[in-house]
Amino acid sequence: MDVFDFFKDPAWRKAVVFTAFGKSFWGFAGAAVAFGVLCWLIKGPEEVWAALDEDLGLLVDLMPRVVVALSIAALIWVMMPREKMSALVGTESGMRGLIIATIAGTVTPGGPSSAYALLAAVAVTGADRGALVAYITAWATLGLQRILIWDVPFMGAEFAMLRFAICIPLPIIAGLIARRLPFTLQIKGAET
Amino acid sequence: MSTGLLVLVILLVILAGLAVQQRQDAGPIARRFVEQFAMLVPRMLFALIAAGFIAKLIPKEAIASLLGDDAGLLALPVAVAAGLIVPAGPVIAFAIAAVFAKSGASVPALIAFITSWSIFAAHRILIYEVPLLGASFLRMRIISAMAVPFMAGVIAMIVGLVTAFGQPLLTQ
């Protein structure tokens, strides 16, 4: 059996085409046409061509970055021991607990479904609230998969790196604030 | 080649070397790449084209005076508020960031906007956070993280005094 067999799987191919050209794709295509027409009517054809010319230059610049960023994201996705990191969230206290939660959030992959599912599972065990907040804040602001897939393609690598570097200490600060809030935390599904 | 792209390429070479050393199967890596490419690129093309037209349509002065360098510290609350009220996924949020960037928003304002959106994205709160963790957790998290996008913006302003590194691609 070949490792590339999934490329021949019709169900997988269909799913990929559906992801690429599903409803949301046509929504964006429609928006592009609608704003193009609006631009033509209000600003005239010259501005429409000028905008498309800028877009073309931008896309030529973007494509190599997209390919490199997505390759890195794919390698990290396969190689990063993210389950090991996630298993540690909430098991340590003090500053160490916040740092572990921040690293775990950073390596937790993309979508909110996996991050929030883990958060909920850890929260019902009565884990430290600082670690919970640090974890989800790190996932949102530092998530490697999110930065490689969204920040780099849209904003460029320099901007993405700057934003990442700036945000590194912030989940820990959010966690420290959470520990000091005078709230009684009631987690859904947790026994009280 | 720009510094940013160069760093990414070096990172890619190192990771690829590690993958070869660990004898990772190329299959899952290729599969993940194709899936992410399909998810991102077609929508991104049209989102950026739409953003290009919107940037022509909206008055640049208005955006620049609220989010540009001249706005000073005022740019941060405006950017954070804008991030709070975007109830949509990443393609729309980053297309809006692209419009801001094209219209003269400063780097700290863009960082505050994206950080604010990534922490408070309303759709994510409604679909995942409240059902899975409840309102009590949401309240605690919002209050704890409220200052984060502001801090990101302020740090970006301080960094901006020292270096111009980090300009978005769109404004170069």
Other CB atoms within 10 Å distance of the CB of residue A57: 10
Q: What is the pLDDT of residues B68-120, one digit of tens each?
A: 988 889 999 999 999 998 878 888 999 999 989 988 899 999 999 999 999 99
Q: From the centroid of its chain, how far is CA A65?
A: 17
Residue A92 has pLDDT above 60, yes or no: yes
Q: State which residue of chain B sits closest to A151, comparing Cα positions.
A: B94
Q: How far is Cα A157 from Cα A89, in angstroms, rounded to an integer?
A: 29
Among A17, A25, A114, A158, pick the best mutation site for testing chain B contact (most B Cβ within 10 A): A158
**Sign of the dihedral through C-alpha A75, A137, B42, B128:** positive
Cβ pair B2:A157 closer than 8 A: yes
Kindly state the percentage of chain A with pLDDT values over 70: 97
What is the CA A36 to chain-centroid distance, rounded? 29
> pLDDT of A6-65, one tens digit each?
877 888 888 888 888 988 899 889 989 999 999 889 888 888 898 888 888 888 888 888
Query: Which residue from B minimizes the CA distance to A52?
Result: B49
Res. A109: pLDDT tops 60: yes
A-chain residues within 8 Å CB-CB of B27?
A: 2-6
Q: What three-state secondary structure class fits B103?
A: coil
Q: Which of B19, B52, B115 sits opposite A54 (nearest CB)?
A: B52
Query: What is the residue extent of each domain of chain B?
Result: 46-171
Q: Give the residue from B13, B49, B161 with the most A CB atoms within 10 Å of its CB, the best one to mutate.
A: B49
Q: How many CB atoms lie within 10 A of CB A79?
A: 14
pLDDT tens by residue, B121-131: 888 888 889 98
Q: Do A151 and B136 touch (CB under 8 A)?
A: no
Residues 60-89 of B with CB under 8 A from A: none
> A140, B119 in Cβ contact below 8 A?
yes
pLDDT at A192: 46
Count of all residues that appear for chain B in the document: 172
Cα separation, A66 vs A162, in Å, equals 18
Backbone φ/ψ region at B72: left (φ over 0), alpha (ψ -120 to 50), beta: left
Looking at residue A114, its amino acid is S
In this structure, are residues A151 and B158 in contact, taking their beta carbons and an 8 Å threshold?
Answer: no
- CB–CB of A77/B13 below 8 Å? no
* pLDDT given at position B1: 62
For B44-56, the pLDDT digits (tens) are 899 889 888 888 8
Alpha-carbon torsion, ordered A87, B27, B12, A83, to 10 deg: 0
Q: What is the DSSP string of A18-45?
A: HHHTSHHHHHHHHHHHHHHHHHHHHH-H
Dump pLDDT digits (tens) for B149-172: 999 999 999 999 988 888 887 654
Q: What is the Cα–Cα distance from B96 to B51, expressed in whole angstroms?
A: 7
Residue B148 touches partner A, C-beta closer than 8 Å: yes
Could you tell me which residues come within 8 angstroms of residue B118 by beta carbon, excluding any fewer than 6 positions away? A140, A141, A146, B83
- Residue A110's pLDDT band, with cuts at 50, 70 and 90, is low
